[in-house]
Amino acid sequence: MQGATTHGAELHVVGVHLYLEDDRGRLLLGLRHPDSAYAGNRWHFLAGHCERESAVSCLVREAEEEAGLVVDPADVEFVHMVHLVDSPGARPRIQLVFRARSWSGSPEVLEPDRCLQWRWWPPQDLPADIVPYTRTAIEGVLGGRPYSEMGWGES
């Protein structure tokens, strides 16, 4: 199995996600391109996978690459983790969600092959077509819970 180690442990994919609230309490979500390998035509956090870098460094890099936002690592705090397996046989994923207390710039579509638009959403009025674990993470953050699991069956 891809990602398995010699001792049977399975390597996890680590994703980082930006939980960004504007001054009105709305959350920034991006509409994924319909041809995306994952979750086409769904709303999702600004996100990326760690590329042999710390999670916060990845978050800062992705914010600038995807939306032109400048985030100071000192202004980032961990707010939630979703431990997820999408389907039987899929590699497990650890989805880390970080809040930026401040940033500079306005969200711009800089990777149109991945994201069609950025939009601010009231947390009580999220779109129906949102990535399921994104909704779970938002509910966790709003409820003060630091951890959620999805796709592991009964636990």
Q: In angstroms, rounded to a whole number, what is the distance separating the alpha carbons of residues 48 and 46?
A: 7
Q: Report pLDDT for 18.
A: 98
Q: In angstroms, rounded to a whole number, what is the distance separating the alpha carbons of residues 98 and 149?
A: 17
CATH of the domain at 22: 3.90.79.10
118 is a domain residue: yes
Q: Report pLDDT for 1.
A: 45
Q: Report pLDDT for 155.
A: 44
1 is a domain residue: no
24 is a domain residue: yes
115 is a domain residue: yes
Residue pLDDT tens, the chain, 155 long: 455 445 678 899 999 999 999 999 999 999 999 999 889 999 999 999 999 999 999 999 999 999 999 999 999 999 999 999 988 788 999 999 999 999 999 999 999 999 999 999 999 999 999 999 999 999 999 999 999 999 987 44
- Report the SS3 class of residue 68: coil
124 is a domain residue: yes
- Domain count within the chain: 1
Q: Report pLDDT for 30.
A: 98
Domain residues for the domain of 24 are 14-150
8 is a domain residue: no
33 is a domain residue: yes
Q: In angstroms, rounded to a whole number, what is the distance separating the alpha carbons of residues 39 and 23?
A: 28
